[in-house]
A and B are shown apart, each in its own frame.
Chain A
Amino acid sequence: MAKKTYRQAINEAIAQEMRRDHRVIVMGEDNAGGAGAPGESDAWGGVLGVTKGLQPEFGPDRVLDTPISESAFIGAAAGAAATGLRPVAELMFVDFMGVCFDQIFNQAAKFRYMFGGKAVTPLVVRTMYGAGLRAASQHSQCLYPIFTHIPGLKVVLPSTPYEAKGLMIQAIRDDDPVIFFEHKALYDETGDVPDESYTIPFGEANLTREGGDVTIVAFGRMVGFANQAADELKREGIGVTVIDPRTTSPLDTETILDSVGETGRLVVVDEAHPRCSMAADIARLVAEEAFGALKSPIRTITPPHTPVPFSPALEDLYIPSAVHIRDVARSLVKA
C-alpha cells in the first residue's frame, strides 16, 4: 500500500471528494495563494501547503482565497453550507478562532436545532493546533475542548495519515458542522493510506494497542506517544491498551468504559490545558460510570495550566512525553 504523509492524506481526501461532488468547495487564507499575481497562482496551498494543487485542478471558483477576516469567511462558509454547498474552510491556526466564535457557536452549531431539523450545515472547518513548532503561545494551543463543549459541533482529531484521510472524507459527507483539527507536528508523518476512497465513522474509537493492565486514552499527536510508552511497558511485562477516540464529539464512551472495566486502571493523555480538558472529561466519565472497576486512582497527563512557552527548552518540557506517559502508567500498575 502507498505510504503517504498526513498532509498528502488530507489533500487526497479533499481532492477525491471534490471530484465526486461538485458542491464541495475550499476556502481560506492563501488556500491557493498568489491570487491576482500573474504567474504566482497556487503559490501557497495554505500556510503549510495542505491544499496545494487543488486550485489548478478545480479552478478559482471552487478554491477561494479569502481576506484576513475570519468572521466574514467562516460566516460565509456556514451560510453556503446552509444553502446547498459543502464548504471546507481553513482557519489557519485554531488560536485565531476566537474572532469568529459567534459564526461557529451561535450560527453553524445552532441551525439544525433552531430550525427543527429542517436545516443542515455540512460545513468542515479545518484548523491547525498543537505545540512543538517553536511558534509561541498564539500559534500552538490545543483548543479542541472548547469546541467539544458546544452541542451541535462535531470535533475530529486524526492521529495518523490513515485516520486523516478517512475522517476527512467522513467530515465532508457529514451534514453537521465539523471542526477538523490537524496537528502541525504530524504533517510530515507517513503511513499506509489506501488510494481508494474510504470513511471512518465518527464516535468509533480505535484500539492501537491491547493489554490487560492499564488503559491509556490519548488524543491526536499523543496517540503516538502513548503507543511508544505501551511498547516499552510491554517489554517490562505490563500490558497496555491504548485508545484513540478519533473524535471528541461524538465520543466513544463505550469503548473507554469497557476497557477500564477490564484493566481497572486509567491514564488520560491530553495536549490541551488541564482545566475543562478532555482529560478532565474522561476522568469524570470513568469516575461516574466505572468507579467500581478502578483498582487505582485515575491519572491525567496534560501540560501545565500556562500558555505554551516560546523558549524551546520550556516548550519541550511543556508537551507530554512518551517517557512521562510510561512512568505514570507503570506507577499505577506497580503501586
Chain B
Amino acid sequence: MKSSQPKPDMSRRKFMALAGGTAGLAAMAAMGLSPEQGECSPNIPAIDVDKMTYAENEADVLVIGGGMAGLFAAVKAHDAGSKVMLVSKGRLGASGQTPFAKGIFAFDSSSEKMTLDEFVATVTRSALGTNNQVYTRQMAEHSLARINELREWGFFESPLYNKNFTKPIKERNIALKERIVITHLIKENGSVAGAAGFSQDEEKILIFKAKSVILCTGAGGFKPNGFPICDLTHDGTVMAYNIGAKVTGKEWNDGHPGRAKNAAACFDGWHGMFERKPGITGVEVHHDLGVDLNYKVYATGNAVKMGPPGAGGREVVAGGPYVPEEFKRRNGPPQGEKGPRGGRPPEREGGAPPPGMGEEPVGGSSAGMAIHKSEGLVPINDKCESNIPGLYAAGDALGSYMAGAIYTQIGSSLAGSAVQGAVAGQSASEYCRGVEMPAISEAKMDEVREEILAPLKRESGYSPAWVTQTLQGIMIPNFIIYIKKERLLKAALAYVEELREHHLPMLRAADLHELRLAFETANMIISAEMKLKASLMRTESRCSHFRLDYPEMDTENWNAWINIYKGSDGSMQFEKQPFDSWPT
C-alpha cells in the first residue's frame, strides 16, 4: 500500500524525476521498446576494428544501386564506352523496390489512341502542374525501347529478376560488387571523385575512385511495416546532400495503408503479387493519392475498408485532399490499394478484386517515402545530372517529378527507372570523356575511413535499432506526414532535431550489420528533418501534400518545387524552384 509513496527523505524533485522516468518507461513499453536497448550502453564489438582492411577500386563510371535504374545505367554507360563498376547494398535485381514491381509501362505509339503530347498533357493535368514535363515525355518516349531490351534479357519470363539482370551485366563483363554499403560520396575540387563504403561480409573498407557517379539508390522510408522498402533509407540522397547536392520533393507522401492483421508482412499483405511475373501496362493516368484515405480515417475514425486508390473509402467525407474531377475513380474496377501502384500487373486491371481486399486497414505502410520519382536529387537538365559535376542520379533517387507529386501513370515507376538509368548512363559516359581520373587526397581518405569506422570504435552509444524505433515512433503515428498541421509538424521536428543533434553522433555498432544500421538510421533522421521542414514551408495543399491549416491549392505562391541543400555553415537551406524551370 505504501510502496508507491515516496520515502520521506526523498525530495519532491527526485520523486518527480522518478515518476517521469517510470511514465517514460511505461510509454516505451507501450511502444514495445525495451529500456535496455535504449540506454546509452557500452559497445561490445564483435569484430576487431584494427583488422579492417582497405581496398581501392577504380572505374570511369561508378553506378550505385542494383535495381532497375542501376541495371540500365551500368549497361548504357558501358555501351557508350566507359569502364563501369556496379555496386549494390544488396544483390542485383533483388534489392530496393525493383524486385517487387510487377508492372511496367510502355508507351507504344502504334497502338495507343493518345499521342505523346496528349499523354504529357494528361499527366500534367492530373499532377496539377507539379510534374516536370521534360521527364514525363522522356519516360514515355523511351519506355518501349527499354522494355524491348528487358524482354531480350528474359525479364518477363520470371518473377525473380536476378538472373535476367545478371545476363546483360555478364555479357558486357561489367564489374559487379554486391553487399557493399556505400556511406560516402567523395568530392574533390568541386567535382565528384568517387565513393566509399564497407562490405557486409568481410571486414573491409572500400574506396571507389571514379570520374562520374550515378546514384541509383532509390528513395526510402522509415523502415515502415508492410512495404518492402526497409533497405531503402535515402542513402543516396543524404550522401549527395552532404557533398552539396540539391535535393527535392521531401514534402510529398506515398500514403499506402497496410492491413491490420500482421501489418509488417508485406508478402502476405500484397496477396502474392511478389510471385507474379512482370507485365506491361498501357496508358492509364490516375491521380492516386493514398492521402485521401488517410484523411477519411482522420476525419471519421478507422471504419474504412480498402477500396480503389483515389477513392479512399466508400462514403464521401467533406474537405480533404483535392482530386481533379477528370481523374476521380468512381466506377472503375476495384484496384489493389496495396502494392506499388506502378507494380500492378495487367491481368488484375478490370478483374475481380484481389483476395483479402476489404480487410481492415492500418496506416503508414510506406511511411517516409514520397511519390515515386518526386524526391531525390534535383536534376539541372534532362540528362539526370545534379548540380555537382559528375554526379548523376536515376530512378527514385532522382527528383525528376516524372509523374508529378502524385502517382499518375500506372507502371511508369519501373519504366521511368529503366529510362532514366539509360539516360544517366549515357550522359555520365559522355561526361567522362572530357575529364581525367580524379585524385583523392590521403587526408580525404583518412577522414572518410575514420567516419566509417566511428560507430564501431565508439565505446558507448545508442543502438541504431533503438534510434530507428524512436524515429518511427515520432514520424509514423498521428498522421504527422499525412494530415499536416504546423503545431504537430513543429513538435515532431523538435524531436527529430534532438535525434540529429544528440543521437546521430552517438550511434554505435558492434558488427558490420549494425554498422549498416547506424548509417541507415542517420540517413533516415536527416530525411525526416527534411520532410518536416519542407512540409512546414509548403503552405498550401496539393497532390500528396495535405495541410489541414492550408487546405487550398495556392497557385500564386506555390507553383514551385522546394529544393533543399546544405548551407556553407552546414545548416539545412531551402529554396523554391518554379515549375517548368531548371535550378539556377
Do A and B actually bind? no
Residues of A within 8 A of B (CB): none
Residues of B within 8 A of A (CB): none
